[in-house]
């Protein structure tokens, strides 16, 4: 039996996935025409969900999946069921990456992107270690994480440092492919108060990075928005959204650790 939650086999993954895809298209139609018209990429966040549900989503057409923890991504990437049934799966790492876990992450089959590069040091380490795992001239896709909400508990560089870290990746990390910017942002923002300031901030960071580094804004992505706010995020320019519970069902409440 899988080490991960198995009590939610009754979840209708196909219904959840199709509902999200429908909402994505509706949100794209509402997006301002002056924003880059990049079709949003849906990353299905399969945190603590069993391999069987991932396979269901894959069989319904989903290819991009995200995990918050290195150990969980690495374990699922080599799960026999997933290896057999999901040949073209694309894993995104969307959590905090510690230096001592880099090799374990990079060795995971199907790793597609690391969305949470939060320092020059991490970028340099990824750039160096990727040489052990790369196939031919393949670069590792990365995003620079921005702490738009300024919360101490969240990782990422402040918005004012977006250009410097992006420039470091582009100029000093030849084994990495700079894809864009990512933020987690404030949880449960009330959109009745107006546009989410974290999403506005990330879009502004992209504009500044593109201006400062002479990049085509149509080639610089924004990863923002989760189950509760992905439609709003798309309206404000998100090109990657990270949706979990809306597809896979609610996660059980956290339990206190017992030693």
The predicted pLDDT at position 160 comes to 97
Does residue 256 sit within a domain? no
Reported as a pLDDT band with limits 50, 70 and 90, residue 190 is: confident
CATH number reported for the structural domain that contains residue 147 in this entry: 3.20.20.10
Reported as a pLDDT band with limits 50, 70 and 90, residue 188 is: confident
- Which residue, 205, 227, 238, is CA-closest to 19? 227
- Which residue, 94, 119, 91, 122, is CA-closest to 107? 91
Please give the backbone phi and psi of residue 141, each rounded to the nearest 5 degrees, phi first: -75, 135
Number of domains in the chain: 1
Would the pLDDT of 3 be above 60?
no
Domain extent for 161: 13-248
| Mean pLDDT value across residues 59-67 | 97
Does residue 163 sit within a domain? yes
Q: Does residue 209 or residue 3 have the better pLDDT?
A: 209
Does residue 215 sit within a domain? yes
pLDDT digits (tens, 9 = 90+) for 7-60: 445 679 999 999 999 999 999 999 988 988 888 999 999 989 999 999 999 999
The predicted pLDDT at position 231 comes to 95
The model's pTM: 0.92
| Mean pLDDT value across residues 226-236 | 95
Axis crossing angle, helix 162-172 with helix 120-129, rounded to the nearest 10: 20
| Count of CB atoms situated within 10 Å of the CB of 169 | 23
- Could you say which DSSP state residue 239 is in? S
Does residue 254 sit within a domain? no
């Amino acid at each position: 039996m899988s080490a991960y939650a198995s009590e939610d086999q009754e979840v209708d993954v196909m219904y959840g996935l199709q509902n999200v895809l429908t909402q994505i298209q509706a949100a794209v139609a509402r997006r301002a025409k002056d924003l880059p018209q990049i079709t949003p990429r849906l990353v299905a966040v399969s945190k603590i969900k069993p391999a069987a549900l991932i396979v269901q989503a894959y069989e319904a057409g989903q290819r991009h999946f995200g995990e918050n923890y290195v150990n969980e991504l690495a374990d699922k990437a080599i799960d026999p069921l997933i290896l057999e049934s999901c040949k073209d799966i694309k894993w995104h790492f969307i959590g905090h990456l510690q230096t001592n876990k880099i090799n374990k992450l990079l060795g995971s089959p199907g790793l597609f992107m690391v969305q949470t590069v939060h320092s020059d040091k991490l970028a340099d380490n990824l750039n160096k270690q990727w040489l052990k795992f790369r196939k031919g001239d393949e670069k590792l896709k990365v995003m620079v994480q921005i702490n738009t909400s300024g919360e101490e508990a969240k990782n990422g560089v402040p918005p004012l440092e977006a250009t410097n870290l992006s420039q470091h990746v582009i100029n000093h990390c030849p084994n990495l492919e700079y894809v864009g910017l990512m933020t987690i942002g404030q949880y449960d923002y009330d959109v009745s108060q107006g546009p989410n300031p974290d999403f506005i901030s990330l879009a502004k960071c992209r504009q500044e990075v593109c201006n400062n580094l002479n990049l085509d804004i149509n080639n610089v992505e924004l990863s923002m928005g989760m189950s509760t706010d992905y439609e709003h995020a798309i309206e404000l320019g998100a090109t990657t959204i990270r949706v979990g519970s809306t597809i896979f069902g609610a996660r059980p409440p956290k339990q206190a650790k017992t030693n």
